[in-house]
Amino acid sequence: MNADSEPVAEIPFEGVTFDFEAIFRAEYSRIAKVIARVVRDPARAEELAAEVFWKLSRTPKAQGPNSSGWLYRTATRLGLDELRKQSRREKYERLFGFPRPARTPEDLHFENEEHRRVRSVLGRMKTIHAELLVLRSDGFTYEEIAKALELNPASVGTLLNRAEEAFRKGYVRRYGQY
Amino acid sequence: MSGAMDSTENTNASEWVRDRLASLAPPSAWEPNADRGLDHFRGRERRANRRRELWRGAALAVLIACIVWLALPATRGIAQRLWDGFYTKDLEAIRFNGPRGDLKGLPQAEFVIPVTGPHRVQSIAQAHQEAGFEPRLPKPLMEQIALGSALLAVNGPIVVRMRINVADLRTALQRRGIDFVNVNVPQSWDGMEILGQTSPSIYAGFKGVTIMQTLPNALVTPAGFALGDFAEIALRIAGLSAPEAHGLRDKFAESGGLFALIPPDAKYSFQEVSLISGQGLLFQNDTDEDDRRKCPFCPGSHELVLTWTTPDRVFQLRSQNLTVTVDQVVAIANSILGQ
């Protein structure tokens, strides 16, 4: 912490002080990267990452030695919510013929990208399946996934297999490729 | 043999999925900046604190307005009030004066039943059944609902309660520099409860325009409670001078109107507009600021909000469609059938 910076928050937790800034600095980067996998835009991912920590600051039950798992679960859900909101907005705008801002060459390129397809499929999957795939794709171990999603570690492999199968079916149904 | 083939297929499928998911990797050159993140966090914290204060102020503003309205016999009959967004035939828009903290001391509103968000319904008949009244809408919108192209939703009733604390009222008056010896706050008010209730509401949305409607709302007070006196005190605490508070009360007594209280930091404009059913109050926000949390009738970013009443309905029309003009909003309001 810089000498001239102020503490973000210090939250009492079971008689000890929860060092919020320490966990912020330790986890922020990875949290933002997990969200960026889902929402595409790094700047938006950073805003949502800050939102995750703000939620943590408002959730005393989540504060403590196991707060990391809560952070990643919340981050993944916020990212998926954002993805679904984007999809709904685009669908609604298309449906009602809203004037849309002119698309940039980058937008046009993006529409044909594989990651757009992947995100589209993720946005339509069951939340738990999408969470499993996002965390696993970010390199989380089974144990870390179990901790983040509050699952039995022994069931993570099975659930991942189901999630992959659901993803594959959703992708093929939508894009017809395998 | 078959099992081995299945296993191979599963492995291939897994690899294929992982290859697809690998495309989600963020740009390699990007590294999240924790200092920037802390700035976002602090900004979020400041916004949340502001919102809490604004919500409290807004809830009180609404209740003050309700009280003024009910205090005046001339207004009782028309029952034109929306507890979360209100206006009158003879609308007066008043900005709060002074810092919001000065409203401390007015009774705090608390929700008696949990507030739920609107839930979607499939037909006008279902909306009618769930809300307990028939929605009135423009004919084209009803056609779009029948086609499934427009959104239709119902929200449950809202009930709020506030309990008067005489000592708090007197302290609040003192903070305003008002001698409560000359402004009578009867001790008999202490502990009295005031209850405000809205009916269920129906929302219909199409092309970025949403029409919300409720039945007239109710406010319940102990028998004989001097609501007019209380309203005048509340207005003084809100920062109005004695002549202003008294004058407004008198004015509304004559005209049968009521008023909307505007947060002091509101950046949107407001104006009265003429509708076939009477006067409406139009809020127009041409900024990027989302003021919806500041008060129940405040506009979001680049939003138009028109609130008006008919003898047995309260309507609010919101437009987030940037191509919709004020004239079009008025035309939509006028096209609602059965007003």
Domain boundaries along the sequence of chain A: 10-175
Query: What CA dihedral angle connects A135, A141, A143 and A147, to 10 degrees?
Result: -20
Model confidence at B181: pLDDT above 90: no
Cβ–Cβ under 8 Å, residues B9 and A19? no
On whether any CB of chain B is under 8 Å from the CB of A148, the answer is: no
Instruction: Give the model's confidence band at A10: pLDDT under 50 very low, under 70 low, under 90 confident, else very high.
Output: very low
Question: What mean pLDDT do residues A36-49 have?
Answer: 91
Q: Which residue has the tokens 């005190």?
A: B233
Identify the DSSP state of B27. P
This model of the complex carries an ipTM of 0.79
pLDDT digit string, tens, across residues B205-234: 887 788 989 887 666 777 667 777 777 887
Question: Is A49 within 8 Å of B32 when comparing Cβ atoms?
Answer: yes
Q: According to the per-residue pLDDT averaged within each range, which of A145-149, B243-247, B307-311 is highest?
A: A145-149
- Alpha carbon distance B318, B306 (integer Å): 6
Q: Which two tokens stand for residue A151?
A: 């699952």
Model confidence at A2: pLDDT above 70: no
* % chain B with pLDDT above 90: 6
Q: Which two tokens stand for residue B179?
A: 């001698």
Q: What is the pLDDT of residue A137?
A: 93
Q: According to the per-residue pLDDT averaged within each range, which of A159-173, B36-50, B233-247 is highest?
A: A159-173
Q: Which two tokens stand for residue A11?
A: 């939250």
Model confidence at A145: pLDDT above 60: yes
Cβ–Cβ under 8 Å, residues A167 and B14? no
Cβ–Cβ under 8 Å, residues B272 and B282? yes
On whether any CB of chain B is under 8 Å from the CB of A161, the answer is: yes
- Alpha carbon distance B163, B159 (integer Å): 14
Q: For residue B26, which residues of chain A lie inside 8 Å, CB to CB?
A: 33, 36-37, 42, 45
Determine which helix (DSSP H) or strand (DSSP E) holds B83, and give its type and residue range.
none
Least confident of A131-135, B1-5, B40-44: B1-5
Q: Which residue has the higher pLDDT, B107 or B67?
A: B107
Q: Which two tokens stand for residue A119?
A: 């995100």
SS3 category, A134: helix
Q: What is the pLDDT of residue B75?
A: 37
CA neighbor of B142 nearest in space, from B127, B130, B124, B154: B124
Handedness of CA B329, B330, B335, B337 (dihedral sign): positive
CA neighbor of B100 nearest in space, from B66, B43, B58: B58
Question: What pTM does this model have?
Answer: 0.48
Cβ–Cβ under 8 Å, residues A8 and A55? no
Model confidence at A33: pLDDT above 70: yes
Instruction: Give the model's confidence band at B103: pLDDT under 50 very low, under 70 low, under 90 confident, else very high.
Output: low
Least confident of A65-79, A107-121, B154-168, B235-249: A107-121
pLDDT digit string, tens, across residues B137-148: 988 888 888 888
Q: Which residue has the higher pLDDT, B89 or B189?
A: B189
Please give the residue of chain A at the shortest CA–CA distance from B42: A8
B259-262/B92-95 β-pairing: parallel
Q: Which residue has the higher pLDDT, B89 or B262?
A: B262
Q: Which residue has the higher pLDDT, A88 or A53?
A: A53
Residue B40 neighbours by CB under 8 Å, 6+ apart? A46, A47, A49, A50, A51
Q: For residue B321, which residues of chain A lie inside 8 Å, CB to CB?
A: 98
Q: According to the per-residue pLDDT averaged within each range, which of B48-62, B200-214, B226-240 is highest?
A: B200-214
Q: What is the pLDDT of residue B54?
A: 54
Q: Which two tokens stand for residue A146?
A: 């179990």
- Give residue B114's identity as a one-letter amino acid code: P
Question: Where are chain B's structural domains?
Answer: 37-334
Question: What mean pLDDT do residues B24-49 have?
Answer: 85
Cβ–Cβ under 8 Å, residues A46 and B40? yes
Provide the mean pLDDT of chain B: 74
Question: What's the gap in Å between the CA of B331 and the closest CA on chain A?
Answer: 19
Provide the mean pLDDT of chain A: 79
Q: What is the pLDDT of residue A161?
A: 94
Model confidence at B32: pLDDT above 70: yes
**Contacts from A6-15 at CB under 8 Å and sequence distance 24+?**
A8/A53, A8/A57, A8/B38, A8/B41, A8/B42, A8/B45, A9/A57, A9/B45, A11/A57, A11/A60, A11/A63, A13/A60, A13/A63, A13/A64, A14/A64
Instruction: Give the model's confidence band at B101: pLDDT under 50 very low, under 70 low, under 90 confident, else very high.
Output: very low
Model confidence at A4: pLDDT above 70: no
Q: Which two tokens stand for residue B300?
A: 């979001």
Question: What's the gap in Å between the CA of A46 and the closest CA on chain B?
Answer: 6
- Alpha carbon distance B266, B275 (integer Å): 25
Q: What is the pLDDT of residue A155?
A: 93
Question: What mean pLDDT do residues A52-73 have?
Answer: 85
Q: For residue B20, which residues of chain A lie inside 8 Å, CB to CB?
A: 114, 117-118, 167, 171
Q: What is the pLDDT of residue B216?
A: 73
Beta bridge partners of B319: B209, B304
Question: Is B24 within 8 Å of A165 when comparing Cβ atoms?
Answer: no
